[in-house]
Amino acid sequence: MEPVGLSWAAQHAELLLVVAAASLLLAAVSLGLLWRQHRQNTMPPSTQRASTVLDSAAHRDMLTGLPSRPEFELALDEAVLRSERGGNRLCVLYVDLDNLRSVNEAFGHEAGDAVLRETANRLAGSLGSATIAASRIAADEFAFIVRGGRADGQRAALALAAAVAQPVPVSGREARLSCSIGIAAYPQHGSRPQLLGNAALAMRSVKLAGGGGHAEYDPQMSAALRDQADLLQDLRAALVHRQFELFYQPKVDARSLQITAAEALIRWRHPQRGVISPALFIPLAERYGLIAAIGDWVIAEACRQAAAWRDAGLRMRVAINLSGYQLRQDDLVGRIERQLLQHRVPPARLTCEITESVAMEDTQVTREAFERLRKLGVHVSIDDFGTGHSSLASLRRLPAAELKIDRAFVCDLQSNEDARSIARAIVQMAHSLGLHVVAEGVELEAQRDLLVEMGCDELQGYLFAKPMSAQALALWAADDGPEHHGGDAFRASLFAETRPTELDP
């Protein structure tokens, strides 16, 4: 017979191990507590203060003073537990500022930090007693837990957006921010571990749609975002794989219908998805920092093409579209200048189209870029004019040579008296400022006739030609005399070339 003690120990070896481990842990914890107490007792007061600051630094974000992410996660644990016990509902809101980067670029990083601090203050104060927790999660990302169901979540999102939208005074001027907000309600939109991630996903879907708004989490968002992530990955490789091409759409003289210029419009030939519209991938490129490289390619390619046309005896200006992000880039004008030089294209042959909303931003950086473009001798054209509600005074400040009436006014011309009055006023105002006026999106002869009668200088639109390859444009410009530019008189072969119709409505 085995001794009782030994057999008990053998049978309960596992239990003994657990007890031993637990005692060790207890000893360690008590030692830790003792050490901390000892440290605090023996530390000089200044070191104690420093230690408290360091302790709170681990929990608080230094710049904004808001709790940091670990604190937020703890608060979320607690809020979910309480919600399970008491049946009360809660929402997580994920806020991402849309344009802090441009504030940093326009005003400098120190001012950017001040704007961020002020915005964080406003965000944290905007929800009142509904807030359970507020946190700065990352650089310009914040998260909130609020009491209540989905309707309360939506209301909180509106309050947060309104807080961000208030202009922030900085260096005697104003910074204007907007934000994208995702909402995940508990328990409808996920379990505890999924809540913050799902709110972030909803925020990203708002970004995807252009930012400046809020959305509730929806399980389908994951698929859409994955699709977007794939597209982004392909976009990163598109330059290397030479998948971009410039198409050109002529601008014609309103009276003679002679071609005066060609606007370069980028196309992406995706190996699987076919031709992808710039309206889809340019915003993506802007958001993920690819616009600089793509924009540089456009500048170089347009200059190369302008030189090739000149060498072939074709005299016309070439226009490129510049994004606001490019204008804020370092040395954009220097790079344009170098490409013009390399291809021996006189600067006055190049037009840079910049949308009205970007042109009117009036930050130091955009003003400098405009001024340098003017000095270089490149023409600046204000694109999509009429949508941005600019004043006459602000227009006068810009060193622009051309103004393009937005398609929205042109397409209503023949049917809408207001559109006619606006177009007429734009033409008169632009002429009084010495600007050349182009109407874009001209599709009907009735529109053309009205625009000519109003005194528009140049016209552009499907009535004359769709965007087409450089080769097709050369044929079009050389072979089709002005008498053909009325619309339906294209040669069949050319017309086929002028139909990149996968893109055009």
Binding region for ligand C2E (CB under 6 A): 249, 264-266, 277-279, 282, 298, 321-323, 353, 383-384, 441-443, 461-462, 467, 503-505
CA 144, CA 139: separation in Å to the nearest integer? 15
CB of 384 to Ca ion, least distance (A): 4
CB of 335 to ligand C2E, least distance (A): 14
By C-beta, is 301 or 353 nearer to Ca ion? 353
CA 483, CA 476: separation in Å to the nearest integer? 12
By C-beta, is 67 or 467 nearer to ligand C2E? 467
CB of 282 to Ca ion, least distance (A): 11
By C-beta, is 182 or 467 nearer to ligand C2E? 467
How far is Cα of residue 249 from the mean position of the Cα atoms in its chain? 26
Q: Which does 441 bind (CB under 5 to 8 A by kind): Ca ion, ligand C2E, none?
A: ligand C2E
CA 119, CA 169: separation in Å to the nearest integer? 11
The pair phi, psi for residue 12, each rounded to 5°, is -110, 30
Residues facing residue 253 across a β-bridge: 458
In angstroms, the Cα distances linking 251 to 93, 178, 261, 407 are: 48, 36, 5, 14
Q: Which does 68 bind (CB under 5 to 8 A by kind): ligand C2E, Ca ion, none?
A: none
By C-beta, is 216 or 497 nearer to ligand C2E? 497
CB of 298 to ligand C2E, least distance (A): 4
Q: Does 152 bind Ca ion (CB under 5 A)?
A: no
Instruction: Tell me the H-state helices in 277-416.
Output: 278-287, 291-311, 324-327, 332-342, 356-359, 364-376, 392-397, 407-410
CB of 321 to Ca ion, least distance (A): 5
Q: Does 458 bind Ca ion (CB under 5 A)?
A: no
By C-beta, is 155 or 484 nearer to ligand C2E? 484
DSSP 128: G
Instruction: Tell me the window of 35-43, 72-80, 179-187, 350-358 that interacts with Ca ion (CB under 5 A).
Output: 350-358
Q: Which does 477 bind (CB under 5 to 8 A by kind): ligand C2E, Ca ion, none?
A: none
CB of 326 to ligand C2E, least distance (A): 7
CB of 444 to ligand C2E, least distance (A): 9
By C-beta, is 137 or 332 nearer to Ca ion? 332
* 48 class by beta-carbon count within 10 Å (0-12 exposed, 13-18 middle, 19+ buried): middle
By C-beta, is 140 or 406 nearer to ligand C2E? 406
- The one-letter code for the residue type at 387 is T
CB atoms within 10 A of CB 349: 20
Q: Does 326 bind Ca ion (CB under 5 A)?
A: no
Site for Ca ion in 292-321 (CB under 5 A): 321
Instruction: Tell me the H-state helices in 60-174.
Output: 69-86, 100-107, 109-125, 150-165
By C-beta, is 55 or 504 nearer to ligand C2E? 504
- Contact by Cβ (8 Å): 398, 359: yes
Residues that contact Ca ion, how many (by CB under 5 A): 4
> Residues in the chain, how many?
505
Q: Does 384 bind Ca ion (CB under 5 A)?
A: yes
Pick one of 383, 402, 457, 458: the residue that binds Ca ion (CB under 5 A): 383
CB of 326 to Ca ion, least distance (A): 13
Q: Does 353 bind Ca ion (CB under 5 A)?
A: yes
Task: Retrieve residue 236's tokens.
Answer: 């990163």
Chain position whose Cβ is nearest to ligand C2E: 461
CB of 198 to Ca ion, least distance (A): 38
CB of 461 to ligand C2E, least distance (A): 3
Nearest Cα to Cα of residue 365 among 117, 118, 175 = 175
By C-beta, is 76 or 266 nearer to ligand C2E? 266
Query: Is-cis flag, bond preceding 187, omega within 30?
Result: yes
The pair phi, psi for residue 206, each rounded to 5°, is -65, -45
Task: Retrieve residue 270's tokens.
Answer: 């995706």
- Contact by Cβ (8 Å): 353, 322: yes
What per-residue string of b and e applies to 219-252 under the rule 16 or more CB within 10 Å gives b? eebeeebeeeeebeebbeebeeeebbebbbbbbb
Q: Which does 266 bind (CB under 5 to 8 A by kind): Ca ion, ligand C2E, none?
A: ligand C2E
CA 467, CA 263: separation in Å to the nearest integer? 8
Instruction: Tell me the window of 73-81, 127-135, 171-179, 376-384 that interacts with Ca ion (CB under 5 A).
Output: 376-384
By C-beta, is 322 or 474 nearer to ligand C2E? 322
CB of 386 to Ca ion, least distance (A): 10
Q: Which does 503 bind (CB under 5 to 8 A by kind): ligand C2E, Ca ion, none?
A: ligand C2E
In angstroms, the Cα distances linking 329 to 105, 163, 294 are: 9, 29, 13
Chain position whose Cβ is nearest to Ca ion: 353
Strands, E, within 164-237: which ranges? 168-170, 173-175, 179-186, 213-216
Q: Which does 152 bind (CB under 5 to 8 A by kind): Ca ion, ligand C2E, none?
A: none
CB of 406 to Ca ion, least distance (A): 6
**Positions that interact with Ca ion (CB under 5 A):** 321, 353, 383-384
